[in-house]
């Protein structure tokens, strides 16, 4: 919940300013809890705390996007970058088996790929190609499963296995130039 700070008497709020504040508060209310949480810029050990999408620009809605009430154009990412972002997203929010997400906000492999896409990085075609790379790695490593989701939900699969799979698939995509 946002709290409003009292303004000094010398400052007066215009109707346009009030509308902007209301728009910002409405936007912040739509963000997941993790995005609203205040985190330190420097952790106790001295390394910089970074979000899963650090180093990439945020998707910015153009004036036409805002007028048409549509999301911003996605940031173009390669298949290799999508797989790396998926792994970083899983690291930040946590991993779960047997469902897309749980009440704590953790996601499965498909849920992480969907979240990366919904946050404006890549296109559905990028996600499809990334899933193909994951399948290629699964089959090349002797795990002939029907989909990456079956691998994710297997009782023997651990979060580290998913990260290793994503890393190998990303390296494969990078070597193919996609």
Domain membership of residue 113 (yes or no) is yes
Query: Residue 99 is part of which domain span?
Result: 79-176
Measuring CA to CA, which residue among 149, 177, 144, 178 is closest to residue 162? 149
Domain membership of residue 65 (yes or no) is no
Rounded CA Rg of the chain: 20
Domain membership of residue 39 (yes or no) is no
Domain membership of residue 42 (yes or no) is no
pLDDT value for 34: 55
- What are the per-10-residue average pLDDT scores of the chain (178 residues)? 52 58 75 56 57 87 89 92 95 92 92 93 94 95 91 94 96 94
Neighbours of 104 (CB within 10 A): 10
Domain membership of residue 114 (yes or no) is yes
pLDDT value for 138: 95
What are 164-174's pLDDT values in tens digits?
A: 999 999 999 99
Domain membership of residue 128 (yes or no) is yes
Q: Structure tokens of 22?
A: 């209301």
Domain membership of residue 155 (yes or no) is yes
φ, ψ for residue 101 (rounded to 5)? -155, 165
Q: Helix 159-176 crosses helix 79-93 at what angle (to 10 degrees)?
A: 160
How many separate domains does the chain show?
A: 1
pLDDT value for 177: 93
pLDDT value for 33: 60
Domain membership of residue 63 (yes or no) is no
């Amino acid at each position: 919940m946002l709290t409003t700070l009292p303004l000094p008497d010398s400052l007066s709020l215009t109707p346009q300013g009030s509308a902007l504040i209301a728009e910002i508060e409405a936007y912040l209310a739509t963000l997941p809890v993790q995005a609203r949480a205040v985190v330190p810029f420097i952790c106790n050990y001295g390394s910089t705390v970074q979000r899963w999408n650090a180093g990439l620009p945020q998707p910015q809605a153009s004036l036409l996007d805002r007028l048409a009430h549509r999301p911003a154009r996605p940031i173009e990412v390669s298949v290799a970058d999508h797989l790396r972002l998926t792994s970083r997203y899983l690291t930040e929010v946590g991993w779960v088996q047997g469902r897309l997400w749980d009440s704590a906000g953790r996601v499965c492999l498909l849920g992480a790929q969907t979240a990366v896409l919904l946050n404006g990085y890549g296109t559905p075609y990028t996600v499809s190609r990334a899933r193909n790379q994951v399948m290629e790695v699964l089959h090349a490593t002797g795990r002939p499963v029907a989909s990456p989701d079956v691998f994710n939900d297997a009782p023997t699969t651990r979060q580290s296995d998913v990260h290793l799979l994503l890393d190998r698939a990303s390296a494969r995509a990078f070597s193919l130039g996609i």
